[in-house]
A and B are shown apart, each in its own frame.
Chain A
Amino acid sequence: MSVTNLLENWSQFRHFHPVDDKPHDPYKWAMSIDLDACTGCNACSVACYAENNIPVVGKERFSHGQQMHWIRIERYWDEDQNAVGGRDFPDQGAQFLPMMCQQCEAAPCETVCPVAATNHTSDGLNSQVYNRCIGSRYCSANCPFKVRYFNWYDYPSDDAWPAEMSQQLNPDVTVRGKGVMEKCTFCIQRVNEAKVKAKSEGRLVRDGEIQTACQQVCPTSAISFGNLVDTESRVHKQWEAQKVELDKDKQEKDEQEGGSKLRGYRILEELRPYPSVMYLERVRESAV
C-alpha cells in the first residue's frame, strides 16, 4: 500500500464497522444457531477438528487450558444448582451453546494486534494470517468470547497426527506451527472455493452452496450459514424474522415494554463488537 493510496482513500480506510460503513456488497457471511435444536452432541466440534487440521492436545494440556477446539460446546446447568443439597450436574437441566469465533464486525481482536495479522475482509470476516502472527496473544486477551487459541507447541512435529494420520490433513488449510494464534474461519476454504466457482460462471454464490463443516454434520440442522446480504438466503430470513440487525448494539425489539417474544439474540451485543452469529434462545426447558 503506497502512501498515495492511503491518502487518496483515507475515508475508506478510516471507517467504523459496520455502522457508517458501506453496506456489504455482495457478500456478508453470517450464521444463526438454533439452541432449541442443539443437543450438545459435539459432532460440530469433531467435524471442525477434521476439516481444519486442529491438533488434539490430550488430557494434560487440555487441563492447562491449552485446548485448540475452534468450536466448543458450552454447558449450562440451570436447575438444582441453588437448591439445598443440589448437585453440580443434575440429571435434568443441561443447556448447550456452541461457541466459535463470532466474526465480529468491529472485532476487538483486530484493533490490538501489533502486526495486523488479524484484520477484516470485505466479506465481513475476521481473517487471521498465520504468517504474520508473532504470537503476542493480545487478541486472545481482548476477545470477549474467548475463542482464539494459541499454538503452545509445535504440533506437527509433536505427534498430534501420528504416522498415517498426517495423510488425512486437509490440504486447503495450513497446518499451523508453534507460536501462532488461530480461530474459527467460517471454513474460508469452502467459501473461497464456492466464490471462485460462482465467479467463473458469472453469478453470485447461491444460498446453500457453502456449508461449513459444523453445519454439514449437525444432526439437527441447528446451524445455518449464508450470505446476509442475499434477501433470499435462509440466514437473512432468520435474522429478519427475529428482528436482529447487524449494525445495532441494542436491538429495537428489546426496547419494547415487557421485552420481546422473539428468540433471536447475539452474545455480548452491548460491548459493540457487532457479532455475525445470531443465536435462537432455547424454548424447551432443558436438553437433557
Chain B
Amino acid sequence: MYRFIRFSTLLVGLFIAIQGYAAEAPLTTADDLGPAVEQPIEFPHNRHAGKHDPSDPSKGGMEIDCQYCHTYARRSSIAGIPPLQKCVGCHNNIESVKDKPRIKKLFEAWEAKKPIQWKKVHDLPDFVRFNHERHIKRFVEQQGHTSQEACGYCHGDVKNMTVARRQKSLSMGWCASCHEKAHTVAASGVDVGKQAYWYTFQKPATTAKVPEDIKAKGPNDCWQCHK
C-alpha cells in the first residue's frame, strides 16, 4: 500500500512537472546557440545596427534598420542576402573607413566583379516552408514593432553581434511555442481586412468589446510549415 502511494505520488509529481514545463514558453536555452560561422568578411552587425553612441560616434552603432539591407524579407518568403552593390553603395562615400582591411577586401571583390560568398547562418531544413514576408507584415507593418525587435524574435540579438550567430533553436517545438500563444489579432483597433488569423481549430472569440481583446493563435496546421 505504502509503495503504491509512493509510486502514484511520483506519477502525479511527474505529470505536474511535465505540464508546467509544457506551458513554459518560449523554449530557449543556452544549448540553442548555433555554431560560430566563419564568414569571408567579418561583418560587424553591431557597428551597422547597434545603438548610436552620441558621446563617441566612432564607437557606437548606426541604428540602420535591418530591412535596409535585408530588403527581401518583407517581399518574399526568403530573406536573401544583400548584394555587394548595396555595401558599395554606402561605402563608396565613406572615406574614413576605406583604408580598413575589411573594406579593402570589399572593394577588391567589387573591382573583380565577384560576389562575396556569405555563409548561411539560419538554415532551416528543406522540408520547412517558412515565410519571412508574413512575419514582417504582421509584426512590423501591422503591429508597429521595430524591425530589430521583430527580427530578433527568431534571429536573436543581432544588433550586438559582429558575425551573426544562431541564438534560437529554430526547432519545430520552438516555432510552435510562439504559434500556440494567443496573440492579439487586430492591432490597436485597426481593421486588418478580412484576414483570417484562425487557421486553427481555435477561432478567436469575436464577442470581445475592445478590438485588442480579440486573440487568436498562429497557424498550427501541419501543412502550414511542412512541405
State the A residues within 8 Å of B (CB): 1-5, 9, 12-13, 22, 25-27, 119, 121-123, 125, 127, 129-132, 172-174, 185, 188-189, 192, 196, 199-200, 202-204
Query: B14 near A: Cβ within 8 Å?
Result: no
Q: Which residue of chain B is the closest to A191 with respect to CB atoms?
A: B223
CA–CA, A188 and B225, complex, Å = 11
Q: Which residue of chain B is the closest to A200 with respect to CB atoms?
A: B137
**With contact pairs A2-B22, A4-B23 given, residues A127 and B126 touching in the complex (Cβ less than 8 Å):** no
Pick from A9, A125, A200: contact of B223, CB below 8 A: A125
Pick from B131, B134, B227: contact of A189, CB below 8 A: B227
The A-contacting residues of B in range 37-96, CB under 8 angstroms, are 77
Query: B8 near A: Cβ within 8 Å?
Result: no
Pick from B15, B131, B196, B223: contact of A25, CB below 8 A: B196
Query: Would you call A4 and B19 a contact (CB within 8 A)?
Result: yes
State the B residues within 8 Å of A (CB): 15, 18-19, 22-23, 77, 126-127, 129, 131, 133-134, 137, 180, 192-196, 198-203, 221-224, 226-227
Residues in A with CB closer than 8 Å to B200 are 122
Known: A13-B201, A192-B223, A199-B195. 9 other contacts (CB 8 A): A4-B19, A5-B180, A9-B202, A121-B221, A125-B223, A129-B226, A172-B227, A174-B227, A196-B134
Pick from A13, A123, A189, A204: contact of B221, CB below 8 A: A123
Residues in A with CB closer than 8 Å to B126 are 174
Residues in A with CB closer than 8 Å to B127 are 130-131, 174
Pick from B77, B137, B202: contact of A12, CB below 8 A: B202
Query: Would you call B192 and A202 a contact (CB within 8 A)?
Result: yes
Query: Would you call A2 and B19 a contact (CB within 8 A)?
Result: yes
- Enumerate 7 A-B pairs (CB-CB under 8 Å) in ascending A order: A5-B180, A9-B201, A26-B194, A119-B222, A121-B221, A131-B226, A204-B194
Chain A binding surface, main DSSP class: loop
Query: Would you call A196 and B194 a contact (CB within 8 A)?
Result: no
CA–CA, A204 and B196, complex, Å = 8
Query: Would you call B221 and A127 a contact (CB within 8 A)?
Result: yes
A114 to chain B, nearest CB (A): 16
B171 to chain A, nearest CB (A): 12
CA–CA, A123 and B220, complex, Å = 12
Chain B binding surface, main DSSP class: loop
Q: Which residue of chain B is the closest to A8 with respect to CB atoms?
A: B202
Query: Would you call A22 and B226 a contact (CB within 8 A)?
Result: no
Query: Would you call B133 and A196 a contact (CB within 8 A)?
Result: yes
Residues in A with CB closer than 8 Å to B222 are 119, 121, 127, 129, 132
Query: Would you call A121 and B223 a contact (CB within 8 A)?
Result: yes
CA–CA, A12 and B221, complex, Å = 15
Query: Would you call A200 and B226 a contact (CB within 8 A)?
Result: no
CA–CA, A173 and B127, complex, Å = 8
B34 to chain A, nearest CB (A): 21
Query: Would you call B227 and A22 a contact (CB within 8 A)?
Result: no
Q: Which residue of chain A is the closest to B194 with respect to CB atoms?
A: A204
CA–CA, A13 and B15, complex, Å = 21
Residues in A with CB closer than 8 Å to B227 are 172-174, 189
Query: Would you call B19 and A1 a contact (CB within 8 A)?
Result: no
Residues in A with CB closer than 8 Å to B131 are 196
B4 to chain A, nearest CB (A): 24
Residues in A with CB closer than 8 Å to B202 are 9, 12
**With contact pairs A4-B23, A203-B193, A204-B194 given, residues A22 and B203 touching in the complex (Cβ less than 8 Å):** yes
Residues in A with CB closer than 8 Å to B198 are 122
B54 to chain A, nearest CB (A): 38
B103 to chain A, nearest CB (A): 35
Residues in B with CB closer than 8 Å to A125 are 223
CA–CA, A185 and B223, complex, Å = 9
Q: Which residue of chain A is the closest to B224 with respect to CB atoms?
A: A192
CA–CA, A55 and B126, complex, Å = 18
Query: Would you call B201 and A122 a contact (CB within 8 A)?
Result: yes
Query: Would you call B199 and A123 a contact (CB within 8 A)?
Result: yes
CA–CA, A173 and B227, complex, Å = 6
CA–CA, A123 and B201, complex, Å = 10
Q: Which residue of chain B is the closest to A185 with respect to CB atoms?
A: B223
B177 to chain A, nearest CB (A): 10
Residues in B with CB closer than 8 Å to A185 are 223
Q: Which residue of chain B is the closest to A188 with respect to CB atoms?
A: B223
Residues in B with CB closer than 8 Å to A127 are 221-223, 226
B77 to chain A, nearest CB (A): 7
Query: Would you call B23 and A2 a contact (CB within 8 A)?
Result: yes
Query: Would you call B134 and A199 a contact (CB within 8 A)?
Result: yes
CA–CA, A100 and B223, complex, Å = 18
